[in-house]
Amino acid sequence: MFDLKDKKKLFLYGKENYKESRIAASGCQNFSEDDEDEQVDTVLMSCYNCRYRRWTSVSFQCMR
């Protein structure tokens, strides 16, 4: 679900693939809920709602 480039884990499914983001988060031991005002998915357990994600122009980078 992630591509490792220059020691950075980039989510392969972009900014709007909620299904894949939820699947990735459900298997992640490092998931940590971000502040409520930073969450973008209606389902809490989603990489899009994780405090360790950093948005890029096309997707996000996992910082864990």
Q: How far is CA 49 from the centre of its chain?
A: 7
Classify strands 2-5 and 53-55 as parallel, antiparallel or unpaired. unpaired
Q: What is the mean predicted confidence (pLDDT) over 26-52?
A: 97
Q: Is the pLDDT of residue 6 over 90?
A: no
Residue 25's region, left for phi above 0, alpha for psi from -120 to 50, else beta, is alpha
User: What are the boundaries of each domain within the chain?
Assistant: 2-62
Average pLDDT of the chain? 96
Confidence of residue 48 (pLDDT cuts 50, 70, 90): very high
pTM of the model: 0.92
Q: What is the mean predicted confidence (pLDDT) over 25-33?
A: 97
